[in-house]
Structure 1
Amino acid sequence: MAREFDQADLNEPSHRPSSLDEFIGQRGLCANLRVFVEAARTRGDALDHVLFHGPPGLGKTTLAQIVAREMGVGFCATSGPVIARPGDLAAILTNLKERDVLFIDEIHRLSKPVEEVLYPALDSRKLHLIVGKGPSARTLSIDLPPFTVIGATVRIDLPPFTLIGATTRSGLITNPLRERFGIPLRLLFYEVGELTEIVSRGARVLGVVLTVDGAREIARRSRGTPRVAGHLLRRVRDFAEVASDSAIDAHDADIALGRLGIDERGLDAMDRRYLSLIADNYGGGPVGVEAVAHTMNLTPDTLIDEVEPFLLRSELLIRTPRCRRLTVAGFDH
């Protein structure tokens, strides 16, 4: 399974944030999460189910790992597309220990049959599996704990556990599933100061001599996202090493980022192509995302998840459920 790259990936494994105190950014979220974790741990209960939602690369996976570590429990990670059948989910759930954390990335991509099996597991820690007959019969090749057979249904008791879901598309999560998360938490884009701290820490781990203004220049053009900051730090380091620079300052970072096609606002070639296409081909909009995606030879999901969030935050784009329209700043960029 592809793993989310966030601020943890700026560090070697032994230097990853291991607690909420070490995690940089998302201060309000972390403060509340700290209370919820401490309360559950004091009671000896499993933490309520958690939903992390927000743009990609902001630290959802790292926070899920930290929650498990601070709760002192096991951690199991998977993703929505991997859980293709109810039996796949059953195999995961029946291997959880008491109070373990199950992390499902891209949880909005769970199929309806899998979701329906998940509901009673979240509500009452029961796993209900229907044993069919004839052509519809299914064989479960999993080791089951003690279970009860009621008619054609196998009912399995599960230990208390915490589901942590992560999604970049919270609007695609069904209401029945959304309502089962007692702790919904939205991750926000990072401020430049927070990213500067993350980049500086990453540089120390990588053995890169980076000035404060150099770190800030990288942070300023990182789209508010630790994942992007990590990529840019490594590429700026490459340019500096080839140029035999002893220390990377803002000027060095600016030159390297310019060669990478990252402009002063942090926009890359794909962002600029997106804006230019809407401006030149559609007069600034309105235009549907499907039409733009087709012209750019990309999927609508790629534009919605990877391109549009930063353009919206930068007030270059207006998005409605049916169309996109450039702002004056977006038209002029």
Structure 2
Amino acid sequence: MSDDHASEPRAAEPEDYTSEQWDAALTAAEATELDRLVEEGIRPGKLDDVIGQTRVREQISLLLEGARRRGASPDHLLLSGPPGLGKTTLAMIVAAELGVAMRQTSGPAIERSGDLAAILTSLGPNEVLFIDEIHRIARPAEELLYTAMEDFRVDVIVGKGPGATAIPLELEPFTLVGATTRAGLLTGPLRDRFGFLGQLEFYNDAELEAIVTRSAGILDVAVDPAGAAEIAGRSRGTPRIANRLLRRVRDFAQVRADGVITAKVAGEALALYDVDELGLDRLDRAVLRALTGTFNGGPVGLSTIAVAVGEQPDTVEEVCEPFLVRAGLLARTPRGRVATAAAWHHLGLNPPNAEGLFGSGDA
């Protein structure tokens, strides 16, 4: 009986490659590595290279310079603010400015005190430990962190019950940089152990234009001032979004235009990716359309909106609402969410009268 698969071609193995295939494979690998290095290059490496956050940059500069002159490790730093404003970048810069290594982890990854103890005891002198989303760290690990931050010591419990013994382990001096998007969820004892508290603010359009122009130079894509302004105006005050939009506009410019990002090219590209002139995406507009169309402006409860747009309530609350509220398009009232007059106008609709706009709804 014949084998049905006998005549099927065999996938080429590396040893079967011709010299041309090897050259193509190496070229693709080099291009991938180059892309990675370019993307990393977008992230500033020094405080002087950071655009925006002037107040926080000056404060951190003084803190680091003071520590250098004393020959000691700087105080622990807590950076708070919405996602994408540069908390991780600043943590990397702190380590770079000190000339030491940085160890990085996140609050959700530290589930037990032993996990944190293993990280702390492996730190070298004056190294930086960066904990992202530090408000989500497990309580036993947080309590271990208290003595580590204050006394550079951890107490490891050996055994259980009445026979348990605490063995103190001395740590090398280190600097903890904590980042959080929910500063209100931090416990008082943990917050009080940070010597510096930095609140990062949203960026203005001029700062975002400068970021887009700088990133475009690193990505080797031509962008004129009007094109940079178009991208910046739709970036929701956030550098991470600005750089993401720039990459997508770059693709559009290289494939469907002459490679230069102008205001017209940027506008067409972002329209294709469902990002409107205020920076609202598909989900943002779906929330506003549900409020204005289905619920006549609200007020309406979060869970009801989530069902209407087919998303989880947490997604609507944490991803959409902050910007919609900041943009003046949505209001959170004790009775529920309400679409403002600006939201109606943005969708090209006429708002109802005040009574209709704040009609009944679930909280």
Which bracket does the TM-score occupy, shorter chain normalised? 0.7 to 0.9
- Structure 1 pair 118/281, CA: closer, same or farther in 2 (3 Å)? farther
Displacement of 1:295: 4.1
Q: How does 1:191-202 map to 2 (within 5 A)?
A: 191-202=204-215
Partner of residue 159, structure 2: 132
Which ranges in structure 2 are unaligned for 5 or more consecutive residues? 1-35, 347-363
CA contact (8 A) 2:257 2:265 kept: no
The amino acid that maps onto 2:213 is S
Partner of residue 30, structure 2: none
Three-state SS of the structure 2 residue aligned to 1:154 is strand
Displacement of 1:299: 3.6
Q: How does 1:305-324 map to 2 (within 5 A)?
A: 305-319=318-332, 323-324=336-337
CA contact (8 A) 1:11 1:202 kept: no
CA contact (8 A) 1:10 1:202 kept: no
Three-state SS of the structure 2 residue aligned to 1:163 is strand
1:204 alignment partner, one of 211, 217, 220 = 217
- Structure 1 pair 323/121, CA: closer, same or farther in 2 (3 Å)? farther
Task: Tell me the number of residue pairs that the alignment of Structure 1 and Structure 2 aligns.
Answer: 311
- Structure 1 pair 175/289, CA: closer, same or farther in 2 (3 Å)? farther
CA contact (8 A) 1:29 1:187 kept: yes
1:56 alignment partner, one of 60, 63, 83 = 83
- Structure 1 pair 229/110, CA: closer, same or farther in 2 (3 Å)? same
Structure 1 segments (4+ residues) deviating >6 Å: none
Q: How does 1:83-102 map to 2 (within 5 A)?
A: 83-102=110-129
TM-score, scaled relative to structure 2: 0.79
Three-state SS of the structure 2 residue aligned to 1:21 is helix
Per-residue Cα deviation, 1:135-159 (whole angstroms, up to 9, x for no partner):
xx9xxxxxxxxxxxx9611211112
Displacement of 1:251: 0.8
1:45 aligns with 2:45: no
Alpha-carbon distance in 2 for matches of 1:108, 1:119: 14
Partner of residue 297, structure 2: 284
- Structure 1 pair 299/47, CA: closer, same or farther in 2 (3 Å)? farther
- Structure 1 pair 248/20, CA: closer, same or farther in 2 (3 Å)? same
CA contact (8 A) 2:231 2:246 kept: yes
The amino acid that maps onto 2:154 is L
Alpha-carbon distance in 1 for matches of 2:301, 2:139: 28
CA contact (8 A) 2:203 2:238 kept: yes
Alpha-carbon distance in 1 for matches of 2:298, 2:37: 38
Partner of residue 70, structure 1: 97
- Structure 1 pair 253/105, CA: closer, same or farther in 2 (3 Å)? same
1:248 aligns with 2:275: no
- Structure 1 pair 237/115, CA: closer, same or farther in 2 (3 Å)? same
Greater relative contact order, per chain length (Cα 8 Å cut-off, separation 6+):
1
What is the percentage of aligned positions where both structures have the same residue? 51
Three-state SS of the structure 2 residue aligned to 1:155 is strand
The amino acid that maps onto 2:194 is F
What is the RMSD computed on CA atoms of the aligned residues? 2.3
The amino acid that maps onto 2:54 is R
- From the CA coordinates, give the structure whose radius of gyration is larger: 2
CA contact (8 A) 2:157 2:165 kept: yes
Partner of residue 190, structure 2: 177
The amino acid that maps onto 1:266 is G
CA contact (8 A) 1:47 1:162 kept: yes
CA contact (8 A) 1:55 1:305 kept: no
Alpha-carbon distance in 2 for matches of 1:273, 1:200: 31
- Structure 1 pair 167/305, CA: closer, same or farther in 2 (3 Å)? farther
Q: How does 1:250-265 map to 2 (within 5 A)?
A: 250-265=263-278
Alpha-carbon distance in 1 for matches of 2:143, 2:331: 36
Per-residue Cα deviation, 1:124-175 (whole angstroms, up to 9, x for no partner):
22212222338xx9xxxxxxxxxxxx96112111122111111111122122
- Structure 1 pair 229/75, CA: closer, same or farther in 2 (3 Å)? same
CA contact (8 A) 2:234 2:279 kept: yes
Three-state SS of the structure 1 residue aligned to 2:221 is coil
CA contact (8 A) 1:196 1:216 kept: yes
Q: Which has the higher helix share?
A: 2
